[in-house]
Chains A and B, each alone.
Chain A
Amino acid sequence: MIELKNIQKVYRTKNIETLALDNINLKIKKGEFVSIMGPSGCGKSTLLNIIGLIDNPSEGDLSVCYTHINGQKEKQLANFRNFNLGFIFQRFHLIQSLNVIDNVELSLMYRKMSASERRKRAIETLEKVGLSHRAKHFPAELSGGQCQRVAIARAIVGNPSIILADEPTGNLDSKMGDEIMQILHNLNKENNTTIVMVTHDEKLAKQTDRIVRFFDGRQVN
């Protein structure tokens, strides 16, 4: 499903070069739930962004959903993300000026789809995360856990085959964190969705199929 070959990422600022990822080789199978762990600054987010096609590697080969991502145009990448990938972030990143239902509909907005169909699917998805009664609220009116559930709904509304979650429970207390994990596990089991999750929580990581550890831009096992 996801394959990284000799992936390297170098950040160049004026006078320093940071090697954020050093020669990463990684294969993730369809339906796998993988945790990525490692100390702060070791390159976890960078890796996720590269898999998520919102950042490009400095070197190496990448294929996502059995598709080679080399030299694709911005527009194609956007379209690819839209159909195949769902993102969940530690800091939710909901659009504050849109209400819950419009936030959830976001990825469907960039597909050819009727407004009523979009609305229908967004409501169904909100029901899955147990928030249909908050559809007309704005993000500022929700708790952190609720925000993250909206974010999950937004990530899965378009039925992506891969979910990329960057510390999805990082901003939540453990009870809410467990709820979120429950949703992800269900999704993984019921839809066979591939999930790559960055976490600092050993306990949560243990519940997943596999843990990949990083240190200083390198994979350690």
Chain B
Amino acid sequence: MWLTTIKQFLTLIMKNRFFTFVNLFGISFTIMLVMILQISFESRVWPGGPEKTVDKMLFLNRSVISKEKSMRLGGISNSVIKEYILNMKTPQKIGVISYSQWTYIGNNGVTDFVVKGTNAEFLSMFNYKMLEGRMYTKKEVSQSKDVIVINRKVKEQFFGNDSAVGKTIEVQDKLFTVVGVVDNVPVNCETAYSDIWYPYTLFNEPLKLFNQTGRWGAVLLAANKTDFANIKEEAAMIEKKVSTQTDGWAFNFGGPFDVLDNYLIGNVDPRMYVGKNISLLMLAGKMLFILLIPALSLIAINLTRVQERAEEIAVRKTFGASSSSLIRQILFENFMLTLIGGLIGLLLAWISIRLFGDFLFAELSSPANGIVNVTLSLLTFLVCIVVSFILSVLSGIIPARRMAKLKPALIMKGGEL
């Protein structure tokens, strides 16, 4: 049955090229939009590259400090990092980051660099590709050595094709010795990304009060995903302890979040976060919404075909097809067409992300280096198939039912019509 249906489907789309073209065009363009959404979502959450192990990580990037009607929302303060987070017991590794930026004014104008102060463990949590030298060590960090690791972009700007290890760069009035060069990190690897990494102990900023926010964050690597609960519990303990030292302010991380939560939460107050399921549903809702308008025009196109295929439908009914089997056949045909369109759409999405990826990820990292790490995952394909399926049902069910309702007697008159 299906084989004949497929054969007939192919004959039909070849016979009616114009219809096929118009239909496929609509479908692939629509699915392209959805797939761009999907691919950029995936490549934000699971960017791969140096961030291959993000699934085992929990992120602490925020603190919410509130008292009655006032609220402070920001990064984590250095005091919470140093006194609590670095002393956590449950994570396998604890990486800390102090976020900053360095504006360099050189001969070629102004360049902004992302600069991150980190501990040595942070560097060991990501799969950086070492081009030269080495990462700074735990010892160098504890001794506040003036050492940095730079990426290829920085190396090329300051040292051209020469080796950089052992040479010095002056950053923010301080002279640093380069110990290692790593390859450029894709901009969508937001946590791992930096242009320059230095030991977090270098700039001896004064410790903040516990009721203040800061510009620090932490990455907690779990030995196993099952440890997440324990880590979260320990983080909750920290919240409680900090809250006793805040002069009446309530201290919250609104976390730690895993990589998916960390993306879904966006920039809102973490206490307002509705959780994975609802957020994913909302995302799916957005995609569905994109499908709605094109589905309407596809319905219109498909309805004009009802007329064209009236004779076939009447014949099938006469020879014993029930309405339900006809609906199934028509939906199946429509699904095949939509799937072809869907795969074309996926291809178009892939090409446009390759061509305009910079633009799509522009908000990620201000000094974008133009590298975006996108891969086509199994999930992308599954989503493409599911979305095609949904679009095919949306655009096919009404025309299919209309067709199945046709009365064969109206068409199968012996004489002239």
Contacts and interface: CB of A to CB of B under 8 A. Distances in A.
Interface of A: 40, 44-45, 48-49, 52, 54-55, 74-75, 78-79, 81-83, 87, 89-90, 93-98, 102, 105-107, 109-111, 115, 138, 154, 166-167, 170, 198
Contacts of B11: 97-98, 138
Contact of A79 (B4, B8, B322): B322
Nearest to A101: B4
A93 B414 contact: no
A55 B8 contact: no
Secondary structure class of chain B's binding surface, majority of residues = helix
A178 to B, nearest CB: 19
B139 interface: no
A75 B322 contact: yes
B320 A82 contact: yes
Contacts of A96: 312
Given A54-B408, A102-B8, A106-B316, A48 B414 contact: yes
B319 interface: yes
Contacts of A79: 320, 322
A90 B417 CA distance: 11
B355 interface: no
B4 A102 contact: yes
B322 A95 contact: no
Contacts of B312: 95-97
Interface residues of B, number: 30
B317 interface: yes
B317 A54 contact: yes
Contact of B413 (A45, A75, A94, A154): A45
A93 B325 contact: no
Given A54-B409, A97-B15, A102-B4, A81 B318 contact: yes
B178 to A, nearest CB: 70
Those 8 A-B pairs whose CB atoms lie nearest each other, nearest first:
A82-B320, A166-B414, A55-B409, A78-B322, A45-B414, A110-B320, A107-B319, A54-B408
Interface in B291-333: 311-312, 314-325
A155 B367 CA distance: 73
Contacts of A166: 412-414
Contact of A93 (B3, B4, B314): B314
Nearest to A93: B315
Contact of A89 (B12, B317, B321, B412): B412
B320 A81 contact: yes
B416 to A, nearest CB: 8
Contact of A198 (B315, B408, B414): B414
B206 interface: no
Nearest to A52: B318
Contacts of A105: 4
Most buried by A among B317, B321, B407, B409: B409
B7 interface: yes
Contacts of B311: 93, 95
Given A44-B414, A93-B315, A170-B414, A74 B407 contact: no
A97 B409 contact: no
B325 A97 contact: no
Contacts of A74: 322-323
B110 interface: no
B320 A78 contact: yes
Contacts of A198: 414
A28 B312 CA distance: 30
Interface in B400-417: 407-409, 411-415
Contacts of B4: 98, 102, 105, 109
